[in-house]
Structure 1
Amino acid sequence: MYLKHKVFGKLFNIFTKFPINNNLISFIIDSNESFSSNLEYIKNEFESRGDFEFNYYYKDKLSINSLKKLATSRYVFLNDNFFPLAFMKFNNKSTVIQLWHAPGAFKKFGGSVENASMLKLISDNTDYLIITSKYIEDYYAEAFQIDKSKIKVLGLPRADYYFKNHNIENLRQNFNNKYNLESDKKIILYAPTFRENEEYNNVFNYLNADEFNKSLSDDYILALRLHPKIKKFYSSQIGVNGDYIDCSDYQNEQELLLISDILITDYSSIMIEFALLNKPVIFFAYDLDNYMDNERGFYLDYKKDLPGPIVYSTEELVNTIKDGIDTSKLNSFIQTQFDDVDGNSSKRIVDFVLNEGEKNG
């Protein structure tokens, strides 16, 4: 695997001899654009500042023209891991910025759980890592194996979405139309994460949908959004099947968060964005002991630091919803995950990048 990355790096390095285009900005992305939202916000912000050119480099496709543009870009943004970066020697007039696709720090990742040598090489070739709060700086320094001087607390571009004016009523109507719903009941969004231990991935072995609906269906709709890797562990009819709505195919996850009234999750960092909306989160951790013993672990104390109650059974889950969900920890939790909660992350990042560019130019 490393050989492939090294070959890519050597090919890329040929093009760094060409002059830099000061108006060219490249984005490194997957073909499925699974983490594109951060990059789109940055692109829109640059477009509001002047006449820039943009290049999307799809990391799983080899395009010589796009590769040359990547090597001659003034600014390069990425949103996820890109291992060839360990062997890519950018022109010293280029600036490489890692935005990362998730806010805050919840589950351990990267150098916190695995061999860090490759990550260190990648970080050596990265100019800046953008994070959401000073509180999580040590975690990200470890996860990326990056010097703290390169870490900048400027926010998460995609979080700007929640501070724009949205017509919630229209979004909810679109949801109703897609799934053929006539009801305006409140939405409970269940978004479980993937487990390495296959035994625990069929969520309906642990959530009794009949019991859930018997107690709550007068007021609530249960909507399920699955991690892509979980789907093979259960069989479901897409759409309404009488027990819940499978909205795993709903294109805009952030819209779902806006129209949902309650989030049920377990170990997914989706809860950080949902907490930003000041709406209640429940943690349905039916396999917590196994997860803590055998999975990658957490940066926080799972039993003490979460912004909502932890439940372990359908009965507990139902009773917690019926009795009212404790949201008293939401504000203090958000303060650990975000230094600024204002919808101006993209502006701060572009301001910083352009100012640093002037200093280095």
Structure 2
Amino acid sequence: MTTARIDEQTQTLIVAGTGPRPASAALTGSRAQVTAKVTGGGRTWKATFPLRAARWGGAELPLPAGEYALSVEGEDLSEVAVEPTLLPILRVEAHGSVVTIAPPLDPVYETAEGQRTLEERYVSQIGAGENAVFFESFYGQTSGCNPRAIDRVLAERAPSVTRYWAVTDLSVEVPEGAVAVVEGSPEWWRARAAARMLIVNDWLRRRFVRKPGQRVLQTWHGTPLKRLALHRPGFDPRRMAAVVKESRRWDALLAQNVYAARVLKKAYAFFGKPIWTDGYPRNDLLVTGDPAPVREALGIGPDERVLLYAPTWRDDRSEMVDFIDPEQLASKTDSVVLVRGHSRTLKPGRDRAGSRVIDVTGYPETSRLLLIADALITDYSSVMFDFSVTGRPMYFLVPDLEHYRGELRGFYFDLAERAPGPLVRSQDELIRALADAEGPDAYREHYAAWTSQFNRLDDGGAADRVVSRILDQGWLTA
């Protein structure tokens, strides 16, 4: 008989049974995997599973929320059962071979009534007087992008400012010295209500109402090629109302360049308020960063060629586009291929058998991936406007160009005319382009025009300029 329990003191899952000691035991999810320490022998055995894991060479953190497959070699786990257990780092339960990890949120707060209670308690009763920032990046799924770059400079120049980071769960690593607050928790509601400033890179949610004296900086998350917000195809009065309501919550909007400032202003009806055209803080790293530690953490040698495949999402499909065979691409180009896509597209991390494909979908900072890439393969993603800071080759894999441009989203300009690299329609065509050593030279003038328009302010000092604005205007106190 196999049993399971949670050891709250060591914050581990313990599975025990009778008979010979199993050779291996693992807990495998789409974004993380841990192996158990198996002890015992003879009549009984015990497998101890840590509920923390180190990812990408970083610190050990609680496992990401989601379902995990529990496996113990040679054992029937059908009768395994662990009732929901709330630990300080996560919530866990098990039924058979399925272990479910959730954020460390008391179930009473997960209900609509529980959230209303917290909203009434903190939003209506607390003033925004704390010398603090509430950061949120991509709805709490990461602590990267422009908000993280601003955080780093703010921590140095204004150490007295408390820095809260909204996270979906505690597997999201926040910057050193910052305070993680799990979305929907009492701490999350209190921090968002009390902080004098919010810095976010996407829409605010959960009925946010800006309080007197509270400031919101919307950094956004990319210079747009594809049409946004009010400019998207088809008239939708509900979308229009939502866009205008959202942009009215912002006090300032950050733009990477003059072109982006013009587009974002109109797309979000952001009139009468300041647009800070200061370059993108997240791109400071591309000017000042060291690629060696990033390569080492990913297990990539200093002389290995790295291709980063980072397509954008599609409005008409939930899965990542599958226009390439990453294994074949790696083999035919003698490269390590990094795939930045959906978490279910590949196994997490480098394959033990020596595969040269790494799924970096869950990697916390895209900028660090751009820093180590020798070439970028993308389609319509705004990452093209960031990678050009490096001056390295770009390739545009666009087999659905007509559909995307004409029916799905539309563009602000003709990519085919201005792209700083070749547009290719298939993997075979892509491989030929990558093999052409003189290919980048053909786009030298296009590349120069591109960086002149889009990257003039990406000089390594964007985050410092943004923090200067914040402090000079008294939004925070150093």
The question of a shared fold, defined as TM-score above 0.5 by the shorter chain, is answered with yes
Paired residue type of 1:99: T
Q: Is the 8 A contact 2:398 2:425 kept in 1?
A: yes
Structure 1 residue 127, shift from structure 2 partner: 0.6
Pair 1:140 & 2:257 matched? no
Matched with 1:151 is: 275
| Map of 1:334 onto structure 2 | 451
Report the CA distance shift for 1:209/1:293 in structure 2 as closer, same or farther (over 3 A). farther
The residue number in structure 2 matching 1:302 is 415
In structure 2, the residue matched to 1:56 is 165
Counterpart in the other structure of 2:154: 46
Deviation per CA, 1:143-178: give whole Å up to 9, x if none.
322115332212222111122241x3443343336x
Name the amino acid aligned to 1:15: Q
Structure 1 residue 277: Cα displacement: 0.6
Give the aligned partner of residue 161 of structure 1: 285
Match of 1:174 among 297, 316, 334: 297
**1:257 aligned residue (344, 347, 370):** 370
Report sequence identity in percent.
Answer: 22
1:65 is displaced (CA, Å) by 4.2
* 1:100 aligned residue: 220
Structure 1 range deviating more: 343-352 or 245-254: 245-254
Residue type of the alignment partner of 1:44: R
Partner of 2:144: 36
Q: Deviations over 1:102-149 (max 9, x none)?
A: 2x2222222221622112112212110111111222210133221153
Q: Which residue of 1 aligns with 2:192?
A: 70
Query: Aligned partners of 2:405, 2:128: CA distance in 1, in Å?
Result: 51
Map Cα deviations across residues 224-260 of structure 1 (whole Å, 9 max, x no partner).
Answer: 413227x45xx77963578751333562433322222
State how far apart, in whole Å, the 2-side matches of 1:32 and 1:57 are. Answer: 5
Cα distance in 2 for residues equivalent to 1:49 and 1:199? 41
Task: Report the Cα offset of residue 211 of structure 1.
Answer: 7.6
Partner residue, 1:248: 360
Q: Are 1:15 and 2:137 an aligned pair?
A: no
- Taking structure 1 as reference, are residues 65 and 191 closer, same or farther at Cα in structure 2, changes over 3 Å only? closer
**What is the alpha-carbon distance in structure 1 between the residues aligned to residue 258 and residue 120 of structure 2?**
36
Cα gap change, 1:116 to 1:335, in 2 (>3 Å):
farther
Q: Which residue of 1 aligns with 2:306?
A: 187
Give the C-alpha shift of residue 57 in structure 1: 4.0
Greater shift, 55-64 or 147-156, is seen at 55-64
Question: Could you list the per-position Cα deviations for residues 55-89 of structure 1 after superposition, in whole angstroms to 9, with x for gaps in the alignment?
Answer: 2345872234443332232222112111345x514
**Is 2:350 the partner of 1:239?**
yes
Q: Is the 8 A contact 2:313 2:321 kept in 1?
A: no
Instruction: Give the structure 1 partner of residue 340 of structure 2.
Output: 226
Structure 1 gap segments, 5+ residues each: none
CA distance in 2, matches of 1:315, 1:55: 47
Cα distance in structure 2, aligned partners of 1:289 and 1:83: 34
Q: Distance in 1 between matches of 2:254 and 2:461?
A: 14
Contact 1:132–1:154, Cα closer than 8 Å, also in 2: yes
Change (3 A) 1:82 1:297: same
Alpha-carbon distance between aligned partners in 2 of 1:142 and 1:31, rounded to the nearest angstrom: 24
Pairs aligned (count):
338
Q: CA deviation at 1:283?
A: 0.4
The DSSP-based 3-state class of the residue aligned with 1:96 is strand
The RMSD of aligned alpha carbons is 3.4
Name 1:90's counterpart in structure 2: 211
Q: For 2:123 and 2:348, locate their aligned partners in 1 and report how far apart those are by CA, in whole Å.
A: 49
- What is the identity, as a one-letter code, of the residue corresponding to 2:209? M
When structure 1 is superposed on structure 2, of 128-137 and 276-285 the one drifting more is: 128-137
Change beyond 3 A, Cα 1:271–1:148: farther
1:291 to 401, 404, 409: 404
User: Kindly tell me: are residues 95 and 339 of structure 1, through their superposed partners in 2, closer, same or farther at Cα, counting changes over 3 Å?
Assistant: farther
Q: Is the CA contact (8 Å cut-off) linking 2:295 and 2:302 kept in structure 1?
A: no
* Cα distance in 1, alignment partners of residues 191 and 369 from structure 2: 36
- Counterpart in the other structure of 1:318: 431
Residues 330, 356 of structure 2: 8 Å contact kept: no
Flag the 1:70–1:41 CA change in 2: closer, same or farther, 3 A.
same
Question: Deviation per CA, 1:312-347, whole angstroms, max 9, x where unpaired?
Answer: 123322222222333412222123223412111111
Name the structure where helix makes up a greater proportion of residues: 1
Identify the range of structure 1 (304-313 vs 235-244) with the bigger mean alpha-carbon deviation. Answer: 235-244
TM-score normalized by the length of structure 2: 0.62
Residue 276 (structure 1) aligned to one of 362, 367, 389: 389
The one-letter code sitting in structure 2 at the alignment partner of 1:306 is A
Rg comparison, structure with higher value: 2
The change in CA–CA distance for 1:54 and 1:358 in structure 2 (over 3 A counts) is closer
Does 1 or 2 have the higher relative contact order (CA < 8 Å, sep 6+)?
1
C-alpha change, 1:222 and 1:76, in structure 2 (3 Å) is same
